[in-house]
Amino acid sequence: MPITEILARNAALYADEISLIEINPDIPEHTPSWKEYELVETDPEKRYRREMTWREFDDKANRMANFLLGRGLQKGHKVGILLMNCLEWLPIYFGILKTGALAVPLNYRYSEDEIRYCLDLSECEVLIFGPEFIGRIDAIRDQIPNIKIRLYVGQDCPGFAESYYALTACCSSSAPKVVLSDEDDAAIYFSSGTTGFPKAILHGHRSLVFSCEVERDHHKQEREDNFLCIPPLYHTGAKMHWFGSFLAGSRAVLLRGVKPEWIIKAVSQEQITIVWLLVPWAQDILDAIERGDIKLDQYRLEKWRLMHIGAQPVPPSLIKRWKQYFPNHEYDTNYGLSESIGPGCVHLGIENIHKVGAIGKAGYGWELKIVDENACQVKHGEVGELCVKGPGVMKCYYNNPQATAEMLKGGWLYTGDMARMDEDGFVYLVDRKKDVIICGGENLYPVQIEDFLRTYDPIKDVAVIGLPDQRLGEIPAAIVELKQGFICTEAEIEQFCTALPRYKRPRRIIFEKVPRNPTGKIEKPKLREKFYTGSIVEAQTESQ
């Protein structure tokens, strides 16, 4: 079935129950609760808390769909979404899907050139954007002639766009008469760009529905649950974790901000039961508790049952530390790619906390294998490339058959992640294939070094990259970000690293903030760009 049928079912069964809540902590709390936003005069940007029932959710999606259909949008057309997390985001997304068109979520950090590139690559004809992006869209509007409709979600609509509120409020809230199947195309997502310019990832309704089933099987969402969604909705990770709540018909809270105090306060006020965090956010919460900025006894956290993490390797030391403050929490690690419809193709499982450090086993309905360069499965303990297979694998990289052929082979998705499997069948990530450092003929896997360095108390975050060396080819360099208030020298870190085998020890220590994208992945291309060129010059000078 198409995923839009789940929304229609929820609206029929739970019409007057709350589906979504948006909290904007930057706005004073005394602002009254907000229920209806069809009037142009309503300003959602000035509301601390807004909420929506399942009936309203479906009605808004139908109005969006009927507006687009009335403007000539047809099955297979593409609609770009460039919005910060907000209550409008998901009704717009589902409204697009109800027309048979494809939703194309865009990263809110994209520059003008990246926005233009992604709109062109995905062949979008409509762009829906928010107030944060007026300047960027204005700068490129003459360079995106294929965009026939520019729809603005906010107050004070710019002259080069049309108002979402004014136009959709006049449209019917009845379901459009468009026949959809689970084989139809549904959405184009973009890769995170950590290894180059983003690629367009095509998914159908079948894989979206499968993602709902995977998430609910893994985390057992029920009607009484309440999911706190913090990551950006343009990314599969946030939306597909919410999909478990969506399938269960339970509510979710969209939190616009990542400050530790905001997260804990939202959990307390909204009686949250499930939170998905990125590693830096979990670290920040623990740091705030230990500094005394957050006093847990001042909050109502008894309903919080599950904390899970994905999008990056999780240091075992972090979870050990977490359990000291939240001993009753269930915990899970989730692994996935946008190409595998986000999280869940591999997951640890809440019953396997004794295996923290592993990403787990094949998820519900998934298969996995680890192969060498000849596509032969490696033995337990050996490092190879992780491959996954299941109903959630992308259809292709849109308009890129060469990249598709490199990634999809015989129904298997070659992830580009190097991994190993232990004797119990649990998979451990070693590193990205392209991030492996070859130092003096030895393969070094940065994640192993990063995990070790994160156990050193003064270190908040760390990234290890390869820098050129005249004699060894490459050497490992550690970019180290210290915790607030901590002082540490290069010599102290070098002394700590004597516990590592000599060939794994960083040859350079650089004190610098570790850049991460909105889904928590380290942006190593930025670090290489910043430090690589100077290292080449140094290496050449040393050889002369």
Predicted confidence (pLDDT) per residue in 48-72, tens digit? 899 999 999 999 999 999 999 999 9
Whether 192 has a pLDDT exceeding 80, the answer reads no
In a domain, 453, yes or no: yes
pLDDT of residue 45: 58
Whether 498 has a pLDDT exceeding 80, the answer reads yes
In sequence order, which residues have a C-beta less than 8 Å from that of residue 9 and are 6 or more positions away? 249
The residues that bridge with 482 in the sheet, in sequence order, are: 459
CATH number at residue 348: 2.30.38.10
Last residue of a domain, one of 402, 432, 462: 432
Query: Which whole-number Å values give the CA distances from 476 to 18, 438, 468, 535, in the listed order?
Result: 51, 9, 9, 12
Last residue of a domain, one of 380, 410, 432: 432
CATH number at residue 510: 3.30.300.30
In a domain, 253, yes or no: yes
pLDDT of residue 167: 97
Q: Quick one: 29 and 15 in the same domain?
A: yes
Of the chain, the end-to-end C-alpha distance in Å amounts to: 67
Q: Quick one: 428 and 441 in the same domain?
A: no
Instruction: Please provide the average confidence, as pLDDT, over all residues in the chain.
Output: 89
Confidence label for 290 from pLDDT (cuts 50, 70 and 90)? very high
Joined together, the tokens standing for residue 74 give 């047809």
Q: Quick one: 456 and 416 in the same domain?
A: no
Q: Quick one: 456 and 415 in the same domain?
A: no
Q: Quick one: 239 and 386 in the same domain?
A: no
In a domain, 339, yes or no: yes
Q: Where are the beta strands (DSSP E) in 236-351?
A: 251-255, 274-277, 306-310, 330-337, 342-347
Radius of gyration of the chain (CA): 24
In a domain, 233, yes or no: yes
Whether 37 has a pLDDT exceeding 80, the answer reads no
Last residue of a domain, one of 432, 447, 464: 432
CA distance 33 to 22: 10
Whether 294 has a pLDDT exceeding 50, the answer reads yes
In a domain, 274, yes or no: no
Give me the domain span that covers residue 70.
4-257
The residues that bridge with 360 in the sheet, in sequence order, are: 427
pTM of the model: 0.82
CA distance 60 to 79: 16
Overall number of domains in the chain: 3
DSSP 374: T
Q: Quick one: 484 and 371 in the same domain?
A: no
In a domain, 275, yes or no: no
Q: Quick one: 335 and 403 in the same domain?
A: yes
Least confident of 90-94, 277-281, 496-500: 277-281
pLDDT of residue 385: 94
pLDDT of residue 519: 63
Confidence label for 540 from pLDDT (cuts 50, 70 and 90)? very low
In sequence order, which residues have a C-beta less than 8 Å from that of residue 5 and are 6 or more positions away? none
In a domain, 330, yes or no: yes
CATH number at residue 122: 3.40.50.12780
pLDDT of residue 539: 43
Confidence label for 518 from pLDDT (cuts 50, 70 and 90)? low
Residue range 415-429: mean pLDDT, rounded: 92
Confidence label for 542 from pLDDT (cuts 50, 70 and 90)? very low
pLDDT of residue 533: 54
Residue range 255-262: mean pLDDT, rounded: 94
Q: Quick one: 407 and 440 in the same domain?
A: no
CA distance 301 to 82: 34
Q: Quick one: 233 and 94 in the same domain?
A: yes
DSSP 162: E
Q: Quick one: 313 and 448 in the same domain?
A: no
H-type helices in 48-201, by residue range? Answer: 54-70, 89-98, 112-122, 134-140, 164-169
Q: Quick one: 363 and 501 in the same domain?
A: no
CA distance 51 to 61: 15
260 three-class SS: helix
Whether 31 has a pLDDT exceeding 70, the answer reads no
Residue range 365-372: mean pLDDT, rounded: 96
Q: Quick one: 247 and 344 in the same domain?
A: no
In a domain, 224, yes or no: yes
Whether 35 has a pLDDT exceeding 60, the answer reads no
Confidence label for 440 from pLDDT (cuts 50, 70 and 90)? low
